[in-house]
Amino acid sequence: MPFELSDTQRAIRDVVRDFARREVAPGARERDESGAFPHDLVARLGALDAMGITVAIEDGGLGLDTMTQLLAIEEVAAADAALASIYTAHLLALEVLTLGATPEQRRRYLVDLANGSKLAAFALTEPDAGSDVGSMSSVAHRDGDAWRLRGEKTYISNAAEADVLVVFAKSDPAAGFRGISAFLVRRDSPGLSFSSPQDKCGIRSAGTYSVYLDDVMVSPEDVVGELGRGASLAMRALNGARIDVAAMANGIAARALQLATQYATSRHQFGEPLRDFQAVQLMLGEMDARLEAARVTASWAAAAKDAGGDLRRAGSIAKWTATEHCAQIVDMAVQVHGGAGFMRESEIERLYRDSRILRIFEGTSQIQLLTIASALAATFDETSEVVA
């Protein structure tokens, strides 16, 4: 790491690293081929107290800083990006609860989610509503004191395996973005159903599903935050979760750099190892520089989060930097491997497929740049003086 770690951070990183290398990495290829959800590994993350690192102790977590969570995510991602995707999707749902849950909701839901005995999902995206959250068609109608949910979500990570889903629907359809509310829906709720796991290019053992809401009844006690403030709650949660995605990208990139360096050392051409050729050295040097820059940026964003700052800019910069650098690093690692990197039996081929989604979910790279530009415009008005 390009910065000093505390004893606690180092200890947790080492515990998760040992778990990832001994238990996660050996079966990653087989899980990629089968698409089987790794229930046992998710349970082990809970047993390691890794599922709620930043959640307050009284709410079932460890009460530690965001940087510690990033270290854990990076180690998991270096071993298996699919498990890291399950992990970060769970943490995204937890972000909503930490931001908006009542004390009773924290007791009923957050404690078990943070200690890893239960799994969560975040259900926002719809077939016709991705980045444009206000265009969602899922609705929540009053039914006495309760709510009746109808609609469809898609590309929802963990949905069929989660014990509870944070579902967003319009409680006031006429109000658009400001008419969306957040609801806690238990997996065994009548009227809630799921598609088969969606067949994906990468992170194949991290199940994603369409979610069908057919008159799902939700009690008033399971509304998260204020009515009509659900979209704002979702955006705030995503701002924080984008830093987690940055850590996931850094983990994949770190593994790609390791594989490329190892291959360049062992592979010989013209009687010399590849690492002695300047063209390969240039690629390895660029990969290392990109990775460290992404790590520093993620660390900066993590500090901003813990300081209670506005994460719209910092979260977007962290995600854009890490995911775009990850794409370049993995691509160069394939190039170092040559034809061997294009073969299905190569680990770098799996990393190439796994890394592609990072520039799409939790907001595309283009959405991140628009968010950054918007924050920039708010920072510098027309009367700002340019200082040379």
Average pLDDT over residues 69-87: 98
- pLDDT tens digits, 154-166: 999 999 999 999 9
CA dihedral 241, 250, 341, 346 (to 10 degrees): -70
Angle between helices 7-19 and 66-79 (to 10 degrees): 20
Average pLDDT over residues 149-176: 96
- pLDDT tens digits, 10-54: 999 999 999 999 999 999 999 999 999 999 999 999 999 999 999
- pLDDT tens digits, 194-220: 999 999 999 999 999 999 999 999 999
Tally of CB atoms within 10 A around 384: 8
Task: Choose the catalytic residue: 104, 362, 382, 385.
Answer: 362
Residue 385 has pLDDT above 60, yes or no: no
Average pLDDT over residues 99-113: 97
All domains of the chain, ordered by start, with CATH?
Answer: 7-119 (1.10.540.10), 121-228 (2.40.110.10), 232-378 (1.20.140.10)
Average pLDDT over residues 111-122: 97
- pLDDT tens digits, 273-331: 999 999 999 999 999 999 999 999 999 999 999 999 889 999 999 999 999 999 999 99
What pLDDT is recorded for position 130?
A: 82
Average pLDDT over residues 257-267: 96
Tally of CB atoms within 10 A around 50: 23
Give me the chain's average pLDDT, please: 95
How large a percentage of the chain has pLDDT more than 70?
Answer: 97
What pLDDT is recorded for position 387?
A: 43
Please give the Cα distance from 257 to 265 (Å, whole number).
12
pTM of the entire predicted model: 0.94
In DSSP notation, 285-321 reads HHHHHHHHHHHHHHHHHHHHHHTT--HHHHHHHHHHH
Residue 245 has pLDDT above 90, yes or no: yes
What pLDDT is recorded for position 386?
A: 47
Spatial contact of 107 and 52, defined as CB atoms under 8 Å apart: no
CA nearest neighbour of 185 among 237, 230, 128: 230
Residue 380 has pLDDT above 70, yes or no: no
3-class secondary structure, 360: coil
What pLDDT is recorded for position 4?
A: 87
Please indicate whether residue 272 is annotated as part of the active site: no
Residue 377 has pLDDT above 80, yes or no: no
Please give the Cα distance from 67 to 279 (Å, whole number).
35
DSSP 176: G
Q: Which residue has the higher pLDDT, 75 or 3?
A: 75
Average pLDDT over residues 223-244: 96
Per-residue pLDDT band at 134 (split at 50, 70, 90) = confident
Please give the Cα distance from 13 to 88 (Å, whole number).
16
Please give the Cα distance from 82 to 68 (Å, whole number).
20
Per-residue pLDDT band at 384 (split at 50, 70, 90) = low
Spatial contact of 83 and 248, defined as CB atoms under 8 Å apart: no
